[in-house]
Chains A and B, each alone.
Chain A
Amino acid sequence: GESVGLHLPTLSVQEGDNSIINCAYSNSASDYFIWYKQESGKGPQFIIDIRSNMDKRQGQRVTVLLNKTVKHLSLQIAATQPGDSAVYFCAEKKEGGKLIFGQGTELSVKP
């Protein structure tokens, strides 16, 4: 069956360091991936997306890398700040627009 999974449930980094959050997927035909950030008590918030015809996309302080050969994507956060503390999910968009989420990585930023 289809699945999207994250490698580590928790990640702790020092403020100012770069963070890397990883995600693996199983379906080689997967076309579109999105990273979401979820803070406590809130709904998921869109961070950045990437289509399968790309291998890298950059936003403000964030970069998503897609490696279709090994079915892996990562989210890189530069100069991590306390406000980045949250749970991060990768998700795959399927037909009809529904999202299939992984389990999430909780990022903690130490001051």
Chain B
Amino acid sequence: DTGVSQDPRHKITKRGQNVTFRCDPISEHNRLYWYRQTLGQGPEFLTYFQNEAQLEKSRLLSDRFSAERPKGSFSTLEIQRTEQGDSAMYLCASNDRVPYNEQFFGPGTRLTVL
């Protein structure tokens, strides 16, 4: 257990539905990252926050995706109008702003879109 938790661990949904995932980082970490991982691939960066500010979004993050970190603590990732191609593991990670500090990953939320 790294101290980063994600909920739910698994989500099965039908195409076209909206889903929301939650990440609780390590409490003193001010940076929070979201990644997506498909089978057999390495994680791909989606977006990151420093405190409550969303500082970067990947081209992978289409306009159906939105992420928030309203109080600079937990974060949510919402996918609207899910598509089968959204099926993946969604990973959250956190660390301090201090350079070269380890990034701790949560266990991920596995999304299956039917």
Are B41 and A46 neighbours in the complex by a CB distance under 8 Å?
no
Per-position 1/0 for A94-111, Cβ under 8 A of B: 001111111110000000
Contact of A43 among B55, B93, B100, B102 (CB under 8 A): B93
Are A96 and B93 neighbours in the complex by a CB distance under 8 Å?
no
Are B41 and A104 neighbours in the complex by a CB distance under 8 Å?
yes
Are A49 and B100 neighbours in the complex by a CB distance under 8 Å?
yes
- Whether A61 is near chain B, meaning CB under 8 Å from some CB there, is no
Per-position 1/0 for A35-63, Cβ under 8 A of B: 01000011111100101000000000000
B interface bracket (residues with beta carbon within 8 Å of A): 20 to 34
A44 to B100, CA, bound (A): 17
Distance in angstroms from A30 CB to nearest chain B CB is 14
Give chain A residues whose Cβ lies under 8 Å from the Cβ of B105.
Answer: 36, 43-45
Contact of B42 among A45, A93, A104 (CB under 8 A): A104
Name the residue of chain B whose CB is nearest to the CB of A9.
B40
Give chain A residues whose Cβ lies under 8 Å from the Cβ of B65.
Answer: none
User: Which one of A32, A89, A93, A99 has the highest number of Cβ atoms from chain B below 10 Å of its Cβ?
Assistant: A99
Contact of B56 among A41, A42, A98 (CB under 8 A): A98
- Whether B21 is near chain A, meaning CB under 8 Å from some CB there, is no
5 closest Cβ pairs, A-B complex: A101-B42, A43-B105, A98-B45, A46-B102, A44-B105
Per-position 1/0 for B4-48, Cβ under 8 A of A: 100000000000000000000000000101010000111111001
- Whether A21 is near chain B, meaning CB under 8 Å from some CB there, is no
Are B55 and A96 neighbours in the complex by a CB distance under 8 Å?
yes
Residue numbers of B with Cβ under 8 A of A are 2, 4, 31, 33, 35, 40-45, 48, 55-56, 91, 93, 95, 97, 100, 102-108
Name the residue of chain B whose CB is nearest to the CB of A5.
B42
Are B55 and A102 neighbours in the complex by a CB distance under 8 Å?
no
Distance in angstroms from A72 CB to nearest chain B CB is 17
- Whether A75 is near chain B, meaning CB under 8 Å from some CB there, is no
Give chain A residues whose Cβ lies under 8 Å from the Cβ of B43.
Answer: 44, 89, 99, 101
Are A91 and B2 neighbours in the complex by a CB distance under 8 Å?
no
